[in-house]
Amino acid sequence: MLLNDFRKFTESFKKHFEDSNIVTTAQNKLDELYQTGSAAQYIARFNEWVVYLNLTDASKIHMLYCHLKASIKDAVAFTLKSTHSMKFKEYCELITGIDDCLHKHKLEKKRNGRLKDTRVDLSGSDSEVSEHSTLNHSHIHTHLSTSTTTSFFSTDSTSSW
């Protein structure tokens, strides 16, 4: 009887309910998975399926990168020279950190208001040009000095990027 032998019970249970082709299912799920929320949520869902595939860290990094939001990809391209020697876990931590910084920056912009449009319309009259070209330098300097993009660069020798 199965109820008296836990090992047999679990084998029977798995045989009955387990996906008969988990590798194909995992590949399909990963192909359909895109980052729509936070990077942490995306990585958690990614990890649920990638465990069924026998992949190198480089392959996992490539697959994860393919379906990241464009803003994260832009930041990765700006900050990394290569992911060649990077471990998958380190890469996930980097992606989560970048996403957190971008989210924080977005909230700051929402809270503080956007920078004023400082573009100059060269086709207009002189009065229009002088009106549009007046810059609030202290506001821009403050914005740039508190910008989270500076946290992407590290002088710490233990940093992996």
Give the type of residue at 130. S
pLDDT digit string, tens, across residues 23-32: 999 999 999 9
Q: How far is CA 69 from CA 37, 81, 118, in A?
A: 9, 19, 28
Residue 143 vs residue 58, higher pLDDT: 58
Whether residue 19 contacts residue 25, with contact meaning beta carbons closer than 8 Å, is answered with yes
Q: How far is CA 78 from CA 121, 143, 147, 155, in A?
A: 30, 19, 15, 16
pLDDT value for 129: 40
Q: Domain map of the chain by residue range?
A: 13-152
Whether residue 45 contacts residue 33, with contact meaning beta carbons closer than 8 Å, is answered with yes
> Residue 2 has which token pair?
């199965």
Burial of 60 (0-12, 13-18, 19+ CB in 10 A): buried
pLDDT value for 56: 96
pLDDT digit string, tens, across residues 51-83: 999 999 999 999 999 999 999 999 999 887 777
The span from the CA of 145 to the CA of 40, in Å, is: 27
Burial of 75 (0-12, 13-18, 19+ CB in 10 A): buried
The span from the CA of 116 to the CA of 137, in Å, is: 11
